[in-house]
Chains A and B, each alone.
Chain A
């Protein structure tokens, strides 16, 4: 007699490789390098049920070309009618740069941690971005503006290399209508630029000098997005101004291959950027080796 072991029915976990079918409904060139992609989940039910928080990311898949993580840049109230701000820099994004409206893509997520804007209610909020860091920052900016009355003083500081590289410049006037301080600075001047030229830290220093230290210590939260060098300097200034480390939030960039805590490509020390991040408070960052 022999024992034929039976094959068991499939285990759960069907969502692991599941991606929502989505369609690129609009593409807006923002600068020479970046475009804003409006991507809508095709199924109306899935679109409605797609709930995310500012700072979370999705995996965007171009079948056969590749899949990569992107922070959602739209407001959470839009659900599965997403906006992603993408720079054509890798293989997948350069192909994406060539596709047009109507293209079907795969979206999975939302993944990761978010900026806890709900915990910042009643407080002053400093939103600081350098370069492409404005992409993940725009979602909490819009979130805060939509419920503006719940926050104290709101300041946005954004630095780019050149005026021509500023993203979402068509929206600044709208942001300003919500009683926010908006300071924009560029590294290098270009003809027609009227604003300040210099480092983002200079604007931040001015903002800090104008503020009161007890407000920074007791009722200020900060969100910082940008290249690692920038947020090290920015966070150091915030800490010197007595903003508590656990109330400074940053978004870290790593190349996830799964977004689900299984491939290890985004690990920092032993932390998964895709599960424990991409949004970390600065206390966690201080505890991470090689984070920045």
Chain B
């Protein structure tokens, strides 16, 4: 069903949207179901034709595909290609889809067979190196976060439906953290990736006294060399810093660079 809405005289269609999950916890989709107060408005904006977390029916007639999760198996690549064929717009939903997310932590081990054995024992399972969606298909839009922030998704989807350009903040989390008048985590002796991580989460973690783990990936022009100095000055080891930077995969290129300098395998 498509109603004929207009905004400033411009016809606005109610697009059919579908939600898909690859390797993930489906927590990002659950985020969308949180806060029932705005759920009806969200549903008036788009027509959801597939959403495993919230409905039984599943249609393959959709225009916008929200794909959560990263790719860890060959069949997921195939599934994703089919989605790309069908959808006009493919949205990578959450850090797993954008960067590989927590799943890609296993990529840091050279021997993936050993990883498989440690985790699954003798259980037969296919698992490969973790990839973000963009490694397999063209992604039109990325929505960052682990999990995503519902308010941000609502803003982005409204803009998408209106046919507006989508802009992500160009500044790091510190900007939003200061606006919430938090105590700087570094003053408490905690490491924090706020100075280099793309904002948009409204400093969710630092506002709860948890240092940023960089789930939204690097801000454009993130000053990572200065971050290393900041960490070192405060006696935070490079291992600890790398642990954080590696957690969601957004800083993969920089981590590889640091490891190479240290002479470690990537």
Contact = CB atoms under 8 A, between A and B. Distances in A.
B165 A64 contact: no
B10 interface: yes
B165 A99 contact: no
A210 interface: no
Q: Which of A95, A99, A100 has the most CB of B within 10 A?
A: A95
Contact of B164 (A91, A100, A102): A91
Contact of A103 (B8, B162, B163): B8
B167 A95 contact: no
Contacts of A91: 164-165, 167
- Report, as a range, how many residues of chain B touch the other chain: under 10
A98 B165 contact: no
Nearest to B10: A98
Contacts of A95: 8, 10, 162-164
Nearest to B7: A64
A95 B167 CA distance: 15
A62 B8 contact: yes
Contacts of B162: 65, 95
B200 to A, nearest CB: 17
Contacts of B8: 62-65, 95, 99, 103-104
A98 B10 CA distance: 7
B9 interface: yes
Nearest to B9: A103
A94 interface: yes
Main secondary structure of the interface of B (DSSP, over half): loop
A250 B76 CA distance: 58
A63 to B, nearest CB: 7
A100 B165 contact: no
A98 B163 CA distance: 10
B9 A94 contact: no
Contacts of B163: 94-95, 98
Interface in B1-40: 7-10
Nearest to B11: A98
Contacts of A103: 8-9
A103 B10 CA distance: 9
Interface in A63-97: 63-65, 90-91, 94-95
Contacts of B10: 95, 98-100
Contacts of A102: 9
Interface in B22-73: none
A92 to B, nearest CB: 9
Nearest to A102: B9
Contacts of B167: 91
A183 B12 CA distance: 44
Interface string B69-95: 000000000000000000000000000
Interface in A183-227: none
B165 A94 contact: yes
Interface string B165-200: 101000000000000000000000000000000000
Nearest to A95: B164
Q: Which of B8, B162, B164, B165 has the most CB of A within 10 A?
A: B8
23 contacts: A62-B8, A63-B8, A64-B8, A65-B162, A65-B164, A90-B165, A91-B164, A91-B165, A91-B167, A94-B165, A95-B8, A95-B10, A95-B163, A95-B164, A98-B10, A98-B163, A99-B10, A100-B9, A100-B10, A102-B9, A103-B8, A103-B9, A104-B8
9 A-B pairs with the lowest CB-CB distances in the bound complex, closest first? A91-B165, A103-B9, A98-B10, A103-B8, A99-B8, A91-B164, A99-B9, A99-B10, A100-B9
Given A91-B167, A95-B10, 16 more contacts: A63-B8, A64-B8, A65-B8, A65-B164, A94-B163, A94-B164, A94-B165, A95-B8, A95-B163, A98-B10, A98-B163, A99-B8, A99-B9, A99-B10, A102-B9, A103-B9
